[in-house]
Chain A
């Protein structure tokens, strides 16, 4: 919505907001209460979601042969908390662009420089799906998917 509103401001420069833009704003606002509920649920359940996502990560194939150490876990936890909060905020504001500009490009640079195919957002999604209601999880899904695709270079069908 932030990106939408910025674009609307630019297009309405010295004039009025056009009908199409007004509809787009109304469309976005019509889901506000659902997004707000999902946002609240994520905030209440943050520690559960993160704990479960960390467990899923520790049990994954990648760490089957060599378990991850405490430093790695702390680091992953920080990345996941940041990732979950950023996606939740982008969901609340209905804005994928703002997520990329503010956090994802930076995070992508980090994982690329480490040559790491980062899977954290996949585990966050699996945890969120089992903890949140279906409706809440579905609202969050596109943002987690976008983040996952950017970090891992994999596209999700």
Chain B
């Protein structure tokens, strides 16, 4: 009987929203296709965290948000890695790079974090440029430090190196935020030399 023909499945497109998100109206749970629990975070909560922290901690809130993002990004990478290794039944290190980055775009999308565009043009100079369109973490006015931390954490976990990230440029229409990612001391140096003086990505990369 044809329906019983055995076929080796071809795993692909793990984070597509149709397959990835499950919800159960009876138990009140939202979860992934592998059963990990998900929670939707309302934008008002994000905004109130930014505002409250700024009021309570002033300047220090930026560092707090960055550190918070750093551990969030690291754990987001670890969860993604774990789920992908179960699904593809192979270590993440064996995944083709193009597949990995397409999967990363999908992982961001299905969590409502926006669309990441990874630019490798300045890799040889030690800088990765990542632009997030329609971000769910920053909102065009605030949250950039949190998102920078998130990306720093993600790429630190992915490369197992001590990386950092900072905002290089941002635009409101369309909503996009661009981050520079690199070795921690390199990023701190760029922040001191250029970003603190109001320079943005195009100027900064010309000095790399």
Expressed in whole angstroms, the minimum distance between the Cβ of B109 and any Cβ of chain A is: 9
**A40, A98, A106: which contacts B102 (Cβ < 8 A)?**
A106
Are A109 and B10 also in contact (CB < 8 A) when A98-B18, A102-B16, A103-B16 are? no
Contact between B16 and A101 (Cβ–Cβ < 8 Å)? Answer: yes
Asked if A133 CB lies within 8 Å of chain B CBs, one says: no
For A77, give the chain B residue with the smallest CB separation.
Answer: B10
B residues with a Cβ closer than 8 A to A are 2, 5, 7, 10, 12-13, 16-19, 96, 98-99, 101-103, 105-106
Against B, the Cβ 8 Å flags (1 = close, 0 = not) of A89-107 are 0000000001001110111
- A-B CB contact pairs (8 Å), 9 listed: A43-B5, A44-B2, A46-B7, A106-B16, A107-B12, A107-B13, A109-B105, A110-B102, A113-B101
- Contact check: which of A43, A103, A105, A110 meets B99 at CB < 8 Å? A110
Q: Interface of A with B (CB < 8 Å)?
A: 40, 43-44, 46, 75, 78, 81-82, 85, 98, 101-103, 105-107, 109-111, 113-114
Q: How far is the CA of A85 from the CA of B101 in the complex (A)?
A: 23
Kindly identify which residue among A44, A102, A114 contacts B13, using a CB–CB cutoff of 8 Å.
Answer: A102
B105 touches A82 (CB 8 A): no
> Which residue in A98, A102, A110 is a CB contact (below 8 Å) of B98?
A110
Whether A106 pairs with B18 at a CB distance below 8 angstroms is no
The SS class assigned to the B binding surface is helix
Contact (Cβ within 8 A) B103 A106: yes
In whole angstroms, what is the CA distance A106 to B84 when docked?
A: 15
* B16 touching A109, Cβ below 8 Å: no
Q: Which residues of B contact A46 (CB under 8 A)?
A: 7
Partner of A102, one of B7, B19, B102: B19
Once the chains are docked, how many angstroms separate the CA of A103 from the CA of B9? 14
A103 to B18, CA, bound (A): 10
Task: Give the docked Cα–Cα distance between A107 and B13 (Å).
Answer: 8
Knowing A43-B2, A113-B98, A113-B101, the reply to whether A106 touches B10 (Cβ < 8 A) is no
B105 cross-chain contacts in A, Cβ below 8 A? 109
- Chain A residues with CB under 8 Å of B5's CB are 43
User: Are A109 and B102 interface neighbours, CB within 8 A?
Assistant: yes
Told that A101-B18, A107-B12 touch, could you supply 13 new A-B pairs with CB distance under 8 A? A40-B2, A78-B10, A82-B10, A82-B12, A85-B7, A85-B10, A102-B16, A109-B105, A109-B106, A110-B99, A110-B102, A113-B101, A113-B102
B10 proximity list for chain A (CB < 8 A): 78, 81-82, 85
For B15, the closest partner residue in chain A by CB is A106
Closest to A78 in B: B10
Distance of A36 from chain B, by nearest CB (Å) = 10
Given contacts A43-B2, A78-B10, are A101 and B98 in contact (CB under 8 A)? no
Contacting pair A106 B101 (CB below 8 A): no
Residues of chain B lying within 8 A (CB to CB) of residue A105: 16, 106
A25 CA to B5 CA, complexed, in Å: 29
Residue of A nearest to B12 (CB): A82
**CA A106 to CA B105, docked complex, whole Å:** 8
Chain B residues with CB under 8 Å of A98's CB are 18
